[in-house]
Structure 1
Amino acid sequence: MDDEEQAAIAEAAGISLMELRLKRTRLIGGRVSLRERANGDCTFLDPNTRKCTVYAARPVQCRTWPFWDSNLNTPADWERTKAECPGAGVGQLVSLQDIRRQANQRSL
């Protein structure tokens, strides 16, 4: 997550950039990522409504879900993703070209 995304999330959440960085993010492989709760939910996912509280400011890591390599490596990975996320595999069909474009955003 880059500095611009972090600033947008902090503003949308009504918290300081420092608070976001200290309490809501972590480093994974040299990249800044949003923290999750013990159950795997993002800290910005409202547990009651199951909606993102910073949706308009969500970073690339969120905008590209579920088109992450870990979800697309094998058909079994995709089936696991669909079982874990009720929104995966439903709705409008996304072309392979769009999936690749979105997936490439994460590897920049």
Structure 2
Amino acid sequence: MSEKWYKEGLRFHCTGCGKCCTGSPGYVWVSDSEVKEISQFLQISFEECIKKYTRKVVGRLSLLEDYLSYDCVFLKDKNCQIYSTRPKQCRKFPWWLENLKTKKDWEEEAIRCEGINHVDAPLISFGEIEKQVDS
């Protein structure tokens, strides 16, 4: 197995800018258990949460997004309204495989995400990054 380019770690700190929750169309995949957590947080039924905040895409559930801005349905004034119960996909950002394939991929994501390589960001160790990728 070849050595990963980020073996020395990477700098990242979420600035709360909300840019990872908007910008282009995409999917935020959610499991039934995640929908259940969100529905409990919002104090609505599981069924209402499914109907109001998700869509089916090729047999899977994805959070809705605004059809004009592509903002996640839960992004309001650049803040996630369900932050404490946000889906695993959201919690793992920016440690997605597509962002870590190459240094160029990481740098391209840094154009969109101000927390990547931010001057005041802590150095996240290779081990911590791998835990996020593997979980």
**Structure 1 unaligned residues grouped into runs of 5+:** none
Instruction: Report the TM-score, using the length of structure 1 for normalisation.
Output: 0.76
- Sequence identity percentage: 38
2:49 aligned with 1:44: no
Which position in structure 2 is the counterpart of 1:63?
A: 91
Pick closer, same or farther for the CA change 1:27–1:99 going to 2, 3 Å.
farther
1:103 and 2:130 matched: no
Offset from partner CA, 1:4-38 (integer Å, 9 cap, x none):
21111122234432232233223456543323334
Q: What's the counterpart of residue 63 of structure 2? A: 34
Q: Using a 3 Å threshold, how does the CA distance of structure 1 residues 44 and 86 change in structure 2: closer, same or farther?
A: same
Tell me, yes or no, if structure 1 residue 87 matches structure 2 residue 115. yes
Q: CA deviation at 1:72?
A: 1.4
Paired residue for 1:6?
Answer: 35
Provide the rounded CA distance (Å) in 2 between the counterparts of 1:26 and 1:72.
Answer: 28
Higher relative contact order (CA 8 A, sep 6+): 2
The match for 1:19 is: 48
Q: Contact 1:13–1:53 (CA<8 Å) still a contact in 2?
A: no
Letter in 2 for 1:40: Y
Pairs aligned (count):
103
Give the structure-2-normalised TM-score: 0.63
What CA RMSD, in Å, does the superposition of the two structures yield over aligned residues?
2.1
Q: How far apart in 2 are the matches of 1:29 and 1:87?
A: 32
Greater C-alpha radius of gyration: 2
Deviations 1:55-96 (A, max 9, x none): 111121111001111211222221121111222333222112
Range 55-64 or range 2-11, more displaced: 2-11
